[in-house]
A and B are shown apart, each in its own frame.
Chain A
Amino acid sequence: MIPDAAAPELRKDQRHVFALVPRGARVLDLGCGDGALLAALVEHRGVRGHGVEIDDDRILDCVRRGLSVVHEDLDEGLAVHADKSSDYVILSQTLQATRDPRRLLHKMARVGHASVVSFPNFGYWRVRLSLLFRGRMPKSPQLPYAWYDTPNIHLCTIADFDDLVRAEGFVVQRRILLNGRGNPMRTSFMAGWRASSAIYLLRH
């Protein structure tokens, strides 16, 4: 099931993040990119949304969409955002590109009541087999970069993320695992192999 046909313009994984955010919530989207998800949330969900982005061209896209967006480096901190100023802090497909993911998760817990974190699963079977048989750092539509030229400096598997979440004391309220086609998996059987990406809803 693909939730909410109200936002057909979104990527499949974004639609699942979209569906986790209730109407009228206060949302902070970290690494909001061109603002597609945030704009959909503002338009269809009536959220009070702010974005954070570092790239000039993407900020321009956000301004064109009329979004509230702050030019900020996630690795530098979320200094301009007040404690618990958001209901949901979204980190969509960005965690793996940050310098200190653990610290960022704690900062998200500071500024929000809940975090929505999505990331590609480095334990996905295609990734494992690619490394096993080709002996080279895997590339895929989700991970298209060469090892020497990738923004993804902190890739992890679902098991890795579960470990971190447990160790840091975050509460997992929901976990959505997406298969290779981007559809939610019905069972968690062999999830660490079968999921190509994961979306976590963490409560603080």
Chain B
Amino acid sequence: MADGEAIEASDPGVGVVETRSVTLFTAADPLQLDSGATLGPVTLAYETYGTLSPERDNAVLICHALTGDAHVAGVHAGKDDPGWWDDFVGPGRVFDTDRHFVICSNLIAGCSGSTGPGSLNPATGRAYGLDFPMVTTADMVRAQRALVRHLGVTRLRAVVGGSVGGMQALQWALDYPDAVASCVIIASTTRLSAQNIAFNAVSRQAIMTDPDFHDGRYAEHGVIPHRGLATARMMAHITYLSEEGLQVKFGRSLQDRDRVSYGFDRDFAVESYLHHQGTKFVRRFDANTYLYLTKAMDYFDPFPDAAAAARALEPVGCNFLVCSFSSDWRFDTSRSLELVQTLLRHDKHVAFQEFRTALGHDAFLLDVPAYKATLKAFLDRHGRAR
């Protein structure tokens, strides 16, 4: 990728961007949820990069993962932090903003500008907290669909997502087959395993048993359940990395000391690293959102049986790209192959590739050259107007 690096050195990417927001549903015209409940008003925070073509046929939707947000690329004015997938989005990059109009929105139930448990509940005049209705992946996608239409787009060239974002991408293809030309599902699965659900359950327990949780009304008490949320993040973070990756990075090296303390200090570098990850996370993420989004993951199961899969896939005509990573044990390659098998059995057009890397589940966010090459080739090929 020597060429790519040479280009990126002089390439500022998408530059300064801003998060915008739009109210797509109101109390009078609410969003219908799978649970039967309704939600209104609904505001989505979103960013866009590149220019929508006059034919409005070059839009690509990126779906963010569990703890992502709408800020995919570029920087906000006066700030240094680039978006969470900055390396992938910009002129000449994987999501080539010279060709594509790229959209990303914060999920409903999110905590980065979209309507979620921290928003004001019009019925009570205070924050929803746990009164926020349960939302599913299909609900999230329904809200995104309203945003996409608001932006003047009726058909997306591609819907792309990693991990939980991949679940949304698949849901898009199933629910709006006429609106999706191609669908990219990375390091994801069609359903959580018992082990996946177990990890989510422990994360939620950590949050809900924190003394500062106050049944989700912690904001009104002027606190946040930081211990529970940090613990949830620390545990989840282990599942995002591979054993080999952790071993290479930390091994048994000690943190700021020459010998073990024979006490309960953070002796090992890996302990210190996880602590740092937990602390950093608490500053930017909401505990209630973590509960809602992990629950939506648990419920996701678009192909509960063969008949349901056949029904769901019958109208789907898009091209699929499915990617997995050899050291990902959160959603390992066999999970992607289950999806590929289902797609092939219903005669769908699907490219599947497993990439060799020690970067674990997080690899989907990172610079894995073969992965970036395939993703770019697929988007350039199937991203063409037809």
Contact surface of A with B, Cβ cutoff 8 Å = 26, 48, 50, 56, 59-60, 62-72, 79-82, 85
A85 touches B350 (CB 8 A): no
What is the 8 Å Cβ interface bit string for chain B, positions 339-352, against chain A (1 contact, 0 not)?
01100110111111
B272 nearest CB across to chain A (Å): 36
- Distance of A126 Cα from B76 Cα, bound (Å): 69
Known contacts: A63-B377, A64-B381, A82-B344. The answer to whether A56 contacts B351 by CB under 8 A is no
Asked if B321 CB lies within 8 Å of chain A CBs, one says: yes
A70 touches B340 (CB 8 A): yes
B350 touches A68 (CB 8 A): yes
Taking CB atoms, residues of chain A closer than 8 Å to B351 are 59, 62-63, 67-70
A70 touches B370 (CB 8 A): no
Chain A residue nearest to B371 in the complex (CB): A56
B377 touches A68 (CB 8 A): no
Taking CB atoms, residues of chain A closer than 8 Å to B344 are 50, 70, 80-82, 85
What is the 8 Å Cβ interface bit string for chain B, positions 358-369, against chain A (1 contact, 0 not)?
000000000000
- Distance of A70 Cα from B322 Cα, bound (Å): 9
A59 touches B340 (CB 8 A): no
A82 nearest CB across to chain B (Å): 5
A66 touches B382 (CB 8 A): yes
Taking CB atoms, residues of chain B closer than 8 Å to A48 are 347
A86 nearest CB across to chain B (Å): 10
Contact surface of B with A, Cβ cutoff 8 Å = 319, 321, 337, 340-341, 344-345, 347-355, 370, 373-374, 377-378, 381-382
B289 nearest CB across to chain A (Å): 35
3 cross-chain pairs, A with B, having the tightest CB-CB distances, nearest first: A80-B341, A71-B353, A68-B349
Taking CB atoms, residues of chain B closer than 8 Å to A26 are 347
B94 nearest CB across to chain A (Å): 13
B321 touches A63 (CB 8 A): yes
What are 5 inter-chain pairs, A to B, with CB distance below 8 A? A56-B370, A60-B374, A70-B350, A72-B352, A81-B344
B383 nearest CB across to chain A (Å): 11
Chain A residue nearest to B344 in the complex (CB): A80
B340 touches A56 (CB 8 A): no
Taking CB atoms, residues of chain B closer than 8 Å to A71 are 352-354
Chain A residue nearest to B381 in the complex (CB): A66
- Distance of A150 Cα from B341 Cα, bound (Å): 32
A80 touches B353 (CB 8 A): no
B352 touches A69 (CB 8 A): yes
Chain B residue nearest to A51 in the complex (CB): B351
A82 touches B345 (CB 8 A): yes
B340 touches A80 (CB 8 A): yes
B99 nearest CB across to chain A (Å): 15
Taking CB atoms, residues of chain B closer than 8 Å to A63 are 321, 351, 353, 374, 377-378, 381
B35 nearest CB across to chain A (Å): 34
Chain B residue nearest to A68 in the complex (CB): B349
Taking CB atoms, residues of chain B closer than 8 Å to A66 are 319, 381-382
B184 nearest CB across to chain A (Å): 11
